[in-house]
Structure 1
Amino acid sequence: MDKYSPTIVLNTETEPDGIYTYKEDHVIISYYHLYNERKTGSICSYKVNRETNQLELLTNNRTPAIHNLGTVVVGDTKFITACTANAKVLFFTPNDELKEVNCAIIPEECEVLSTSVGGETLVASRNDGYISYWRLFRNGRWKPVKEVKCHDAEVWTVAMNIDGKTLLSGSDDTYCKAWIDDDMIFKIRFDAGVTDLIWRNQTNFLAGSYDGSVKEFDIRNWKKPLWEGHIDGGAGWRMSDQGNRIIVAGACGGVVEFCQTSNGLFEKTFQKYEPHDSMVYGADALGNDILACSFYDKKVVLWRRNDN
């Protein structure tokens, strides 16, 4: 028997591409829709009703098309972030109301693919190879500081260390790069584009790639990963670090889980595609279970752990 069994809990009207669990059995899902060259989106909060096996809509916010759903901490406050196709980073409250409370805007025409905060610095990666920087004003607004050309292709992901100094960037050009200020301190080449980067602590980070790999590195000895796992037929598109388990939206590889073993490293404990019928772009833990969304078939699937 597989570790998890699937139930389709929502068939959506538009394409879902991100999931975040903000409290027990409550989730936020982002959407991206392209029609006649017009890009639209939304960000919605839901309650998971386990008795009816359905998601119950709580809040629906219309937005530009969303490329990436994430979280940041500014001071002591957590926010949901939505990176949009019209050069904006939108900030929302992580609760049932899902209220938009702030916005950072890039003056140039571009698409924002990822964002991260460290200290009082906000960074956003772009589809033109640049990374934009902002600093936090006393009034809580973000002031543009600079734009730096960091890659020769779309910058799919950025991750700023909590120290506000060390930045990781990953791109379609197959490189993960580490920066302090504007100085590159190292770069790691993958066999395909680098799709997601997550700091696990101040020294260790996870890297996902279109080559199907998920790897953990220590920046003090970055030439060799601490461990690496592989997603059959897929990618390390989006990762959710749960401490002793890592949930991965594996694109064409479906839903994937890596769990920590007795030696402190990780091994793959689950991978499944069906009933998803297109790329799985979002996945997060839902207690001991997993909630995942797939794009073109517009499905949200609850993967229930079989020993619950």
Structure 2
Amino acid sequence: MKKIILSFIAALLLVPTSVKADEGMWFLMFIERLNHRDMQKMGLQLTAEEIYSINHHSLKDAIVQFNGGCTAEIVSKDGLVLTNHHCGYDAIAELSSEEQNYLKNGFWAKNRKDEMKPSSLYVRFFVRMDDVSKRILSKVNDKMSEADREKAINQEIAAIEKENNEGGKYTVSVRPFFQGNEYYYFVYQDYKDVRLVGTPPESLGKFGGDTDNWEWPRHTADFSMFRVYADANGNPADYSPENVPLQPKHYLPVNIGGVQEKDFAMILGYPGRTNRWM
């Protein structure tokens, strides 16, 4: 299961002939202690609390995991989700037919009634995380066999996940990091009524194919747009015509003015895997 990770690009435009990225991997709960001062020196204008907060809305509430595999962003007060074209690819293909090939020709809903619900698609919101390394590692010792060690760890993981899911309200995942030397639990909330709002034609959205997907700069419209729906109280709900657009805790306002030279830039999301900590 992918975890939300922060990295930041420093001095991106400071030296015209040299681009330097201050690469690394950081958990959001450690931003204040490990990274925030350095990021402020580079131009960050957000407080640590504005990036990651448990008790108040913050940037982490606008960065979501899309269908278990991609990073996406909430970009409006009415639950619009922006993600890559290839991330929405399967859902767009499912909704297409020979007569209405949205994957090939593109699609834009003229109103909310035209927004289309694929059979299975969900958006996962990150609620909180915590360090349970001492708790889990206290259950093992050097005299244990590998099988006994694994059993003890898995039993403690199951207990932690049950304690924090609030009767099934949340999805909880305990994962090892740094070669099993540390353990963290992550709490998520899933919304399953997610509908297609718009997508460019495949000729634009997938221009350059998988080869160009790993190149930069790219000349493509690699995006698709969806909307998250909830019940009248804002809670996750199965699809229903009575559901309403989610009013998110936080969303990213789009700056149509673009970026300026020396602007600070950082990346927040769900990498499939990373060894940047090394």
TM-score range (shorter-chain normalised) is under 0.3
- Higher strand fraction (1 or 2): 1
* Larger CA Rg, structure 1 vs 2: 2
- Higher helix fraction (1 or 2): 2
TM-score by length of structure 1 reads 0.24
